[in-house]
Structure 1
Amino acid sequence: MTRPVAADVLAMAGEQVLTAAQVLWPGAVVLPGPVVPSVTSYVQQLHVDGSPLYAKVSVCGTSLVSVTRGACGDIETVRARQAAYLASPSSLMAREAEQLRTLSGPARLTVAPLAGYARGALFTGPVAGRTLADLIEAEPGRTRELLALVVRDVTDGLAREGVGDVVERAAIRERGISGTFRRKFNGLSGPVYLRQTGHGETLGVVADRLRRARRLPPGRGSAVIFGDLKPEHALFADGGGPVYLDPGLMRGHTVADTAKLASRLVLGLVARRPAAACVVLAGADSYVQAATQRMPADERSGWLRELVVLALMDTLNILTTYLTAPPDLPLSTQAAGVRDRARRVADLLDHATAPLATTADGATLWRLYLTRVREAVTAS
C-alpha cells in the first residue's frame, strides 16, 4: 500500500470545504484562503461574500498524522472512507457543532461564533484576541490569575443545567487524554509505533510506567469536562473574558482540564524557552496549590497524582504525534519547536514518570514534575 501524500489529503479536504460552503451559501462568492497547520483536523481560512470564516473537516474521524501515515489506506481508500464518514450524523464535526451550540446556550460561555455546518464541514467566525498561552507569556506574573479564571469559567459553565444531556448524545471522547493514551499505546501496535518516533526505547519505558500508574477510581469521573482545554483554545480580546474554541465535551475527572492546560503550557515553555519561564511555572504551581488547599489530605493527594499522570500522558500523546508526522505534513510553530527539542521532552517524561512506581503522595509527584520541567526548559 502507498501511503497518501499529504498534499492529496489536504486537497481532498479543501474540496469538501468548498462543497459544504456552496450548500450553506448558494450563489455566494467563496474564496479559499490558507490552510492552518494542524496534526489533527483540516482547518482552512476562507471568505464567503467577503466575510472571513474558518472551516474545519475531520478526515475519517482520525488525526491527519494517522491518515498521512497510511492508517486509513491509500488515497482512494481514504476518499471512499471519508465520503461515508461525512455522511454520518455522528461525525466529529457534527458533534462539535452541537457542542458549540451547547456552550453558547445552556452553558452560557462565550465561544467562536458558529456560522454553519454542512456535509461534515464546520464553519466558525474568527475571534480577535490573544491566546491564553500568548497572554501568559506576555504577562507571566498573571499566570495564576489567568489559569484560575479559565478553569473557574469553564467549570461553572459546564455544571449548568442542560449541558449534561447534550454530552450524553454528542460526547467527543476522541480528545480525551486517557482514551487517546490507550488507543496509541496498546499492547500490539504500541511498541511498533513508539519505535517510529526515534526515541522508542525511552518512550516505551514511559508508556509502561504510565499504564501501571495508580489512578483515581473511575467512579470519580462523572463531571462534564471541556476535554480539549489547551491554552490556544481560550482567547482573550482586550478587556474581555475568555472565548473558547474546539471543545471536546465528555464526562471525566475535573482535573483532566487542568492537566491538559498544564501539559500544553509546559510544552510551549520547552519549545520557546521564554526568559520568564520560571515565573510562569511558579504561577502555575501557585494556582494548583490554591485550587487544592481546601481539599482533605487524601483527596488532595489523589487529585495531584491524577494531575501529574494525566499531564504526562498528554505530553506523551502529542509528542509521539509530532514525531511521527510525515515530513510533507505542515506543522505549527509550536509543534515544530517541540519536535526540535524532542530529546529534552523525552528526558522530562522519563525522569518525571520514574517516581510513579515508588511514590504515592501527589504533592511529592507534583513537586518532582515541576523540577523536571524547569530542567527541560533551561537545558541548552
Structure 2
Amino acid sequence: MRGPSPRVALSTPACPRQFRQPDINVEAHMRDIPHDSSTACPTTGDVFGYASEQIHRAAAEMWPRVPVLLGNHIPSVTGYVHQLQVGDRPMYAKHSMLGGSLVSVLTGEYGTWEAVAKRQAAYVDAPDSLLAREAKQLAFLASDGKPRACAVIGLRRGVLFTEPVPGPALSALMLTSPAEAGHLLVRAWSELVPLHSRNFPGEEIAERSIAGTFRRKFNGLSGETYLGRLGVARLSEETSAEVIALIRPLVLRLHRVPLGPTAAEDKVLVYGDLKPEHIVFPDGPDKAPYFIDPGLMRAAPSVDAAKLISRTTLSLAASGASAAAAKDIALGIQEFVRTLLGNADHLRRDAMLRRLLLLWCMDTINIMTTYLSAPSAVPLPVQGRRLAEDPLPVLRLVNAASDLLTTRSESTAAWERALDGVSGVGA
C-alpha cells in the first residue's frame, strides 16, 4: 500500500464556475449557514457541519420535549449518516446534499459552498428529492412485507429517520462462513422474487442505474478530466499514474461493448442498490433478511445481480481473507449465477452472462473511481479506504475479466476468467 501523494495541496481547490443546475435564490435561509468563499469548493466542515445541524433541528422539531443525542458518524461516499438516540429510542438519520454523492459535492461538481447551500434549501422541500423518494419506497416495501425492509420513522428538513436493523450483514456472513456464500446469496435473492411481479406507483431512483452512472461519469471532456484526478489525493504519484493508465483504456473498452436493449417483458421492479451490506440478517442466516437503502426502478434483474456480485467481490478484496476463503466465495457466486440462469437455452444463457459480466465490470469501475476521486479529508468506509489505498488488484481483475467481452469468445470463457480473478483476490 502506498502513502498519500506529495502532490496533494493543503489549500482548498478552486471550483468550476459552471455546475449542474441554475442557482436558487433563498437568501433568508443563508443567514444560518456557514459558507466558504465564492471561489472555493465546499469543505467537509461546510457540508458535515450543515448536515449535522439539519439532523439536530429536524429531530428537535419532531421530538421537541425529548433529549436528542447524536451518535457515531457512519462514513459513506453517498450521504451523511449518523446514529441517533432520541430519548431511549435508537435510530439512524440520513442527510443528502442535492441528491448527489458527497464526493461530487466536495469536488465542486455542484459549485461553491454558497451555491450548494442556497440550492439545498429549496431541494429539501421538493417532493422528488432523493430521500423523499426513498421514504416512499420503504413505505411501499413495508406495505407488503416482501422483502422485509427497515421501517421509516419520519422525514423532516431533508433528513430521513429510520429504525435500526441489528444483526450481521450478508457481506459479514460470507466472510465468516465463506463455504456458505452460495446458499446465502441464493437465500437473499429469493426474498426479492416477489418484488419482481409488483408495480410501484411512486417515482423510481434511477440514479442507482449502473449503466446510467457509468455513462454520466465517463462522458466526453468532463469524463477525461475526472479520470485524470484519480488517486491524486490518496496514492503516490507513481501508483496514481498506474491506476489512470489502467482505467482509461478499460473505460473505453466497456463503452464499446454493447449492453443491448432490455425487452419490455424482461423489465421488472428491481431493488436498485442491492449491496451485501444492505442485506441484514437479524434472526440468523436461515431466516428472511431485512433490506435497507432501496433504489427501486424498473430494469432487468441482472442489474441487481451484477451489483450484488460486484460488491461481494469488493468486500472480499478489502477483507484480507485467505485464498481458501476467496475460492469458496467465488464458488458461491458461481452457484448463485447458476440459479439465475435456470434452464435458459445456450443463446439466452450466453447473452445473460455477457450482460451480467458487463454490468459487474461497470459497477466496480463506478465505485472504485468514486473512492479514488474522494478528497483526502473525506472519511471513507473501511472497505472504501482499503480499496482506495490498494486499488490495483481489483482493477486488474476487471481488466482481465472484461478483455474477452470485446472478442467473439463465448461469454462462458469471460465469466470463468472473472471467477478466477475473484479466487485470486485472497491473501
Settle same-fold status: TM greater than 0.5: yes
Question: Is 1:52 equivalent to 2:90 in the alignment?
Answer: yes
What does residue range 211-222 of structure 1 map to in structure 2 within 5 Å? 211-220=255-264, 221-222=266-267
**Aligned partner of residue 83 in structure 2, secondary structure:** strand
Change (3 A) 1:187 1:45: same
Task: Name the structure 2 match of 1:121.
Answer: 159
More helix by share: 1
Task: Verify: 1:188 aligned to 2:217, yes or no.
Answer: no
Structure ID, larger Rg: 2
> Does the residue aligned with 2:333 lie in a helix, a strand or coil?
helix
Secondary structure, in 3 states, of the residue corresponding to 1:165? coil
Contact 2:146 2:194 in 1 (8 A): no
Amino acid at match of 1:259: A
Q: Which residue of 2 aligns with 1:306?
A: 355
The Cα of 1:75 is off from its aligned counterpart by: 1.7
1:37 aligns with 2:103: no
CA distance in 1, matches of 2:342, 2:297: 26
Q: Do structure 1's residue 259 and structure 2's residue 306 form an aligned pair? A: yes
Instruction: Summarize deviations over 1:205-225 as a string: whole Å, max 9, x none.
Output: 111111111323233552111
Contact 2:272 2:303 in 1 (8 A): yes
Q: Deviation digits for residues 300-327 of structure 1, max 9, x if unmatched? A: 1111111100000000000000001011
Deviation at 1:374, TM superposition (A): 2.7
Deviation at 1:111, TM superposition (A): 1.1
Cα pair 2:140 2:200 within 8 Å, conserved: no
Q: Is residue 2:394 matched to residue 1:345?
A: yes
Aligned residue for 2:71, secondary structure, equals strand
What is the 5 A alignment of 1:138-153?
138-153=176-191
In the TM superposition, 1:267-286 aligns within 5 A as: 267-275=314-322, 276-286=325-335
Deviations 1:329-377 (A, max 9, x none): 10111001111221112222222221111035222221111122333x0
Q: How do 1:1-380 and structure 2 match up within 5 A?
A: 1-106=39-144, 108-160=146-198, 164-166=199-201, 169-197=202-230, 198=240, 199-220=243-264, 221-239=266-284, 240-275=287-322, 276-375=325-424, 377-378=425-426
Number of matched pairs: 373
- Cα contact 2:191–2:288 (8 A) shared by 1: no
Q: Is the contact made by 1:108 and 1:157 (CA closer than 8 Å) also made in structure 2?
A: yes
TM-score, scaled to structure 1: 0.94
Do the aligned partners of residues 123 and 158 (structure 1) sit closer, same or farther apart at CA in structure 2, a change above 3 Å counting? farther
Identify the range of structure 1 (327-336 vs 22-31) with the bigger mean alpha-carbon deviation: 22-31
Contact 1:191 1:200 in 2 (8 A): no
After superposition, what is the alpha-carbon deviation per residue over 1:202-261, rounded to whole angstroms, capped at 9, x for unaligned? Answer: 111111111111323233552111010000000002333200000000011111111001
CA offsets per residue over residues 126-176 of structure 1, 9 Å max, x none? 11110001111111121111111111211223423xxx232xx31001111
1:53–1:126 Cα contact (<8 Å) kept:
yes
Please report the RMSD computed on the Cα atoms of aligned residues, expressed in angstroms: 1.5
1:109 shift after superposition:
2.1
Name stretches of at least 5 consecutive residues in structure 2 with no aligned partner.
1-38, 231-239
Structure 1 unaligned segments of length 5 or more: list them: none
**TM-score normalised per structure 2:** 0.84
How many Å separate the matches in 2 of 1:119 and 1:158?
32
- Paired residue type of 1:362: S
Deviations 1:51-76 (A, max 9, x none): 11100111011000011111112222
